[in-house]
Structure 1
């Protein structure tokens, strides 16, 4: 799929470096708080990395590390790699943020066992800041994602079923799931949950891509008009 703009790298190298550096600082702070968590479901094999939130934070960090190196080294393959990592991390983080805070204001006990709730600062660091930073990276300094809806669905199916396989492997060792509701779910229900999750990720990807292309088109038009006025 051809991009909607000629933008292939960050329009401002300094701004891109700043976004990636600030994001990495926030992510490092979030990782530093993870050992302080008291949720009993994080114990045993896999630890906190049984939770989708922590895996998404890791993906976000890898995305920003590659982005920062691309900014500093100005190597095109790194920009491409960052774009594909962003494709994986950004929709996941956005859906996590949406679902988490929806449940947070409805019934917090469905997210964390009573008595094990996170401090608000750590909660925001895990369930809001990564999404904000990834969206800033995508919409302000990145080229359009090089993917269409069909390819995105295949990618998202891979993400969803990989996570299912991972937590099933962890379950085979520790005997519990990171999300108690999965204990009573049949394999068929889990299969459909993966498909629904993948479809939601794909819809998010398509919407973000259209929004991004629209922003770039408006920016390009504005620059063209301003350039014409100065001549």
Structure 2
């Protein structure tokens, strides 16, 4: 007997995924809003030029802009999946999210944390102050959008601790090598804190960042379980059936 399209869609959807995605409804709306915010941030870089615009590496010297770029790719693939209802593109979006969501959480934590200590650690003297809306767009909206997408429109992460640590370490130390290359050409670091720290201290900062990003991944896994439950094995009429934790009826 041929399956109804809606039934096939439910079979593809993870049992813990709270809302339909890919879909042309709420999922597409979230991805559209996110992409509009990201486009606003990129437009700001063009309409408010500074010395970084003409330097080697452009604004991609900043971890903020690298994270914003990855978030943009993640949501662009997600929106394409929504519009085409492609499960393959949806899977690619989820794979990208494993890196982009924890990375944006790391960026938000580091930026707002360092800024609370001393704004001069992350904002050079020559840089004009960011308006609150612009600051929010760069340093909060990407993390919020990706976390919402994970919690309500995605299956749970399946990455284990060691692979998460390896991915985080690759990103952190890859960024370190990149900014050192930019420094060789530009003779300045993108963030003032890098000028203050010596080489050993910078290594420690990037190692700490890798650990913090791994912790962010673990916290997202935990938060997903809090919001959506966990999969457990339950015996129903002699068969193994996956149910949400706390769901005694197995529905």
Give the alignment's TM-score, normalised by structure 1.
0.85
Q: Residues of 2 paired with 1:167 and 1:49: CA distance?
A: 9
Cα distance, 1:221–1:15 mapped onto 2, change above 3 Å: farther
Which residue is equivalent to 1:26?
37
Q: Residues of 2 paired with 1:212 and 1:177: CA distance?
A: 37
Q: Report the number of matched residues.
A: 223
Higher strand share: 2
Q: Residues of 2 paired with 1:199 and 1:216: CA distance?
A: 26
Unpaired runs of 5+ in structure 1? Answer: none
Q: Quote how far apart the aligned CAs of 1:173 are.
A: 1.3
Q: Residues of 2 paired with 1:33 and 1:111: CA distance?
A: 18
Q: Quote how far apart the aligned CAs of 1:143 are.
A: 0.6
Q: Residues of 2 paired with 1:9 and 1:77: CA distance?
A: 19
Deviations 1:152-209 (A, max 9, x none): 0011111111111111111121121112332354443333322211111001101111
* Matching of residue 11 in structure 1 with residue 23 in structure 2: no
Rg larger for: 2
Q: Quote how far apart the aligned CAs of 1:105 are.
A: 3.7
Structural mapping, 1:189-228, within 5 Å? 189-217=201-229, 220=244
Match 1:150 to one of 140, 158, 162: 162
Q: Quote how far apart the aligned CAs of 1:9 are.
A: 9.2
Query: Taking CA–CA contacts closer than 8 Å with sequence separation of 6 or more, which of the two structures ends up with the larger relative contact order?
Result: 1
Q: Residues of 1 paired with 2:175 and 2:117: CA distance?
A: 26
Unpaired runs of 5+ in structure 2? Answer: 1-13, 231-242
Which residue is equivalent to 2:115?
104
Q: Residues of 2 paired with 1:62 and 1:33: CA distance?
A: 18
Q: Quote how far apart the aligned CAs of 1:101 are.
A: 2.2
Give the alignment's TM-score, normalised by structure 2.
0.79
Q: Residues of 2 paired with 1:134 and 1:164: CA distance?
A: 24
